[in-house]
Chains A and B, each alone.
Chain A
């Protein structure tokens, strides 16, 4: 399984958060190269690389850049999505923490391509250390005169998964409640402050300096034809060696989980694999040989998503897992559109009933049907995420759901690996009596 370092090259040997160290390994050379190129040429290069967005939707990055209205009628903006909140994903954090200048350099290159003078990096509020590292790197690079006429502002989120959705992110950045906007108009036409805006994931942007350095033609040679490049795979769950691993796209799930991740602790059986973050349909052990690239995972019935692979071993109750996942979506639904706001709550109620042993067979059909009624009808993909996940658990593990009904209780009898899990939405709030000064 081909390991290849584009994003974290030299990060193990050196402290790349230091500008000097980053430069010592050739950092900011691609920027110089990019600045010697015409913006159109740069965009052509990105298009030629066929790089696909690493934020989840896999949209071709070059094409997105080419859609940005550069007429100058309004200023154009580059916005970096560093809100990373997809359960299972922790890759952007690794980049910002260990190689922040790579991200900054990517920003400066894209800013040149789309003629933007304002870059905003929207980093999730919980990433405090990462923010500090990134902000210092921004300050250092700026002090070093690398910015030219570009300004980079690091904007901190405040705890809302939905702000990872690109248009919700824009509203949040504009100082509104972070709720998605209808599309069209798409951000490259009308985004931040009603102006043309390019939005990309951290990892997408961080992949751009290596592309500029090696040239699109070289980049195309990495990984499979339709999904060139590497990805930081976030491996978590029931594995011996969880963590981030940079692999070429096209490596298989088995390679990641067993060869790199060391397999399941205690030699237990894998029950299911979430291949792209909690929002994508779940896969089963018979699909372990699926190559991890956009097309292959789609062919397997799921999505590449954010390359967050979560391993679930045999001890886990799938109804509990579904319930916990759905509570997340209910908690994170922004409340703007009807199907997602009302549907997620309803799904949670149905799942609670089943897990409590009060379920009836009709509830399984209701669960499936309510899900189908949300799918494709919500304002943004969160509604789909809330269904892809639990509906796939139901459909692939229907027997286990039925067993809950048959027995009138959870068949795991309190022994499920996630038994007793609490969600923030279950919390009751008891404020303290005295107000601190």
Chain B
């Protein structure tokens, strides 16, 4: 890409040099001048010039122009409301028109205090109203979905929300109906807005028209604190701010990191925070009593109990990691168990070799600039790493070709080709392809938020080879709820003599875990995560956990075994950083973490693995995925239940046709004597011979299934 051409523009007498084609709003900003806007939001695609807030005079043009739709050309002379009485008058009248039918119910509006309409009216608006007629009224609030409410009277018809739905998320579910002054924002009939990114419209809305049902009437802006942290719900690691009031999390907002999330969040990241307040939250240590109950233990009792379990197990300990621990938690756990006790055996989250792709590292945002993107692996991208799906859509809109099979010729032919693996066990294979085809970038989408950080920290603690699992397993240490609900881990737990678990929620521990230690949510943690790009990011505790956190427990337990472990994330990090993060100080991670530069591929070159991944099947190959809206946190958020996927089986057009199955038809999938009834979804993205369903809907089926009309 060539160096951009610079042009000179004069805004209100201030001369600035900007790239040719830069927007006038940005150009003015470069000159230190704010041109107020409502509808303008560059992330929503081409500007629409609807609200008319940004009218300016442009020399040589007879009519006033909207700054948001104009681009910088050399010699352009612009006068904003600052120096042009005409533009100032236009601004004043735009606000007057906006307010003519606005209810002015700021005292009871959630947006009050952080509302662009309030702010701009305060700064530029008319001081009094000349509207003495009946204002437009609507039924309100309308539930757009269980998570979003719509107050149409407040809507200023900026079309930000509908543009998001149509051109960013491309779900086309939130639309404008009617024409002129009768226009309203709506979903189809009374159906809810069901889409993985719906919540972004709340943040986009410049007034209090679209609000979060979770946040409605919960807080005033001057009572809240916004804590900058990172989302811990998936491996993307969107930058977020957790809004807290009186020590409780009230909502999650985006904190735009342009390379990672572009300011968007998925609904899981946005709405699932209330899992922190689940009724079965483990708020103190608990000892199993009988099959279903627990007794609370004091801190000292619990440490004694834990010490005993560990001591009795010797090296016959297996540790099951979640992949959602912080780097520091994983490292201290490894220090305790591996270094202190010589118990090296672990069940790791799925990442083969965290560093394999570092030679192809790029920011996620570069997907948008790719010419060809190949998606390998069997799972839908949005279910594993939702924001990546938005980057892919952006790429497609910009003309990129998105392929679901590796077309080597196309990849080689493109200057900017990106490979993505969305599914388990693909890192080695992906790295081999990336190496061989010399691609522009490659991403592996792990299943868990910090799989990579956890694996790296666990291995950094000791050089000892990981042995086979000990027989018998005297103690299984389960680290986190994700591991606790993992069926493989649960099988292991049933075989183990004793089970100790760090968990947030009791329900899934019942009958399985002997000693339950209270775990924390990512919203309660200090520490670091490594996202799927390989970017180290910092979590900050938005609220206090209900009990001492994992680090404190581990450090305390360490004392009993004379392993010196600091209970503070910062100190743990410094120790680890010397080994694997080039000595980066904890405090230097910052609020918007940079992407580390590319590092050469590891010494042993990746060779294409010959895994028996695709065993021969006689019927259709069933691949399953874990839906975005599932898991221990989502299960505990009532407002999110409507987002859980319907029981559907995706099948390719060919397979559907040959079986006489139409989209939406009732079907039966069976294998080995078990059968499940589902609805068919005919997909163009699936290869012939493969069918796909959410794990939770095909329990009991094997990977070789037959499908027929029910």
Listed in ascending order, the chain A residues whose CB lies under 8 Å from chain B are: 160, 162, 177, 181-182, 184, 330-339, 341-346, 349-350, 353, 366, 373-374, 376-379
Note all chain B residues with C-beta closer than 8 A to A335: 157, 176, 178-183
Asked, given contacts A339-B94, A349-B133, whether A344 binds B180 with beta carbons under 8 Å apart, the answer is: yes
Note all chain A residues with C-beta closer than 8 A to B97: 338-339, 341-343, 346, 373-374
Of B50, B64, B100, B179, which is within 8 A of A342 by CB?
A: B100
**17 A-B residue pairs with CB within 8 Å:** A331-B180, A333-B179, A333-B180, A335-B157, A338-B53, A338-B156, A339-B97, A341-B97, A341-B157, A341-B181, A342-B97, A345-B101, A346-B133, A366-B130, A376-B63, A379-B49, A379-B50
State the CA gap A379–B51 with chains docked (Å). Answer: 9
Contact with A along B49-71 (1 / 0, CB 8 A): 11111010000000110100110
Chain A min CB distance to B267 (Å): 27
Complex contact B55–A346 (CB within 8 A):
no
Most buried by B among A332, A333, A336: A336
State the CA gap A339–B47 with chains docked (Å). Answer: 18
Listed in ascending order, the chain B residues whose CB lies under 8 Å from chain A are: 47-53, 55, 63-64, 66, 69-70, 89-90, 93-94, 96-98, 100-101, 130-131, 133-134, 136, 156-157, 159, 176, 178-183
State the CA gap A266–B130 with chains docked (Å). Answer: 44
Complex contact A377–B55 (CB within 8 A):
yes
Complex contact A346–B52 (CB within 8 A):
no
Asked, given contacts A335-B183, A337-B50, A344-B180, whether A182 binds B69 with beta carbons under 8 Å apart, the answer is: yes
Note all chain B residues with C-beta closer than 8 A to A344: 180-181
Chain A min CB distance to B327 (Å): 47
State the CA gap A177–B47 with chains docked (Å). Answer: 16
Chain B min CB distance to A337 (Å): 5
State the CA gap A181–B181 with chains docked (Å). Answer: 18
Note all chain B residues with C-beta closer than 8 A to A343: 97
State the CA gap A186–B98 with chains docked (Å). Answer: 28
Of A182, A345, A350, which is within 8 A of B66 by CB?
A: A182
Chain B min CB distance to A332 (Å): 7
State the CA gap A423–B70 with chains docked (Å). Answer: 38
Chain B min CB distance to A129 (Å): 26
State the CA gap A2–B47 with chains docked (Å). Answer: 49
State the CA gap A335–B53 with chains docked (Å). Answer: 15
Complex contact A376–B64 (CB within 8 A):
yes
Complex contact B93–A339 (CB within 8 A):
yes
Note all chain B residues with C-beta closer than 8 A to A184: 69-70
- State the total of A-B contacts with C-beta under 8 angstroms: 99
Q: Which residue in chain B gives the minimum CB-CB distance to A340?
A: B180
Most buried by B among A337, A349, A378: A337
Most buried by B among A330, A334, A344, A379: A379
Note all chain B residues with C-beta closer than 8 A to A338: 50-53, 94, 97-98, 156-157
Note all chain B residues with C-beta closer than 8 A to A332: 179-180
Note all chain A residues with C-beta closer than 8 A to B178: 335
Of A330, A342, A366, which is within 8 A of B101 by CB?
A: A342
Of B52, B63, B90, B182, which is within 8 A of A337 by CB?
A: B52
Note all chain B residues with C-beta closer than 8 A to A377: 52, 55, 64, 90, 93-94
State the CA gap A117–B136 with chains docked (Å). Answer: 47
Note all chain B residues with C-beta closer than 8 A to A379: 49-50, 52, 66
State the CA gap A330–B156 with chains docked (Å). Answer: 17
State the CA gap A183–B159 with chains docked (Å). Answer: 18
Note all chain B residues with C-beta closer than 8 A to A337: 49-52
Note all chain A residues with C-beta closer than 8 A to B94: 338-339, 377
Complex contact A336–B63 (CB within 8 A):
no
Complex contact B159–A336 (CB within 8 A):
yes
Most buried by A among B70, B90, B179: B179
State the CA gap A353–B66 with chains docked (Å). Answer: 33
Note all chain A residues with C-beta closer than 8 A to B52: 337-339, 377-379
Complex contact A346–B100 (CB within 8 A):
yes
Asked, given contacts A338-B52, A338-B98, A342-B101, whether A373 binds B93 with beta carbons under 8 Å apart, the answer is: yes
State the CA gap A246–B518 with chains docked (Å). Answer: 89
Note all chain A residues with C-beta closer than 8 A to B47: 182
Note all chain A residues with C-beta closer than 8 A to B182: 335
Complex contact B51–A330 (CB within 8 A):
no
Complex contact B181–A345 (CB within 8 A):
yes
Chain A min CB distance to B390 (Å): 22
Of A341, A346, A376, which is within 8 A of B131 by CB?
A: A346
Q: Which residue in chain A gives the minimum CB-CB distance to B89?
A: A373
State the CA gap A48–B89 with chains docked (Å). Answer: 42
Complex contact A177–B176 (CB within 8 A):
yes
Note all chain A residues with C-beta closer than 8 A to B93: 339, 373-374, 377
Note all chain B residues with C-beta closer than 8 A to A366: 130
Asked, given contacts A342-B98, A377-B55, A377-B94, whether A334 binds B181 with beta carbons under 8 Å apart, the answer is: no
State the CA gap A154–B96 with chains docked (Å). Answer: 42
Most buried by B among A162, A342, A366, A378: A342
Chain A min CB distance to B340 (Å): 64
Note all chain B residues with C-beta closer than 8 A to A342: 97-98, 100-101, 181
State the CA gap A337–B136 with chains docked (Å). Answer: 17
Counting from the closest, the 4 A-B pairs by CB-CB distance are A182-B49, A335-B183, A373-B93, A182-B69
State the CA gap A353–B130 with chains docked (Å). Answer: 14
Note all chain B residues with C-beta closer than 8 A to A374: 93, 97
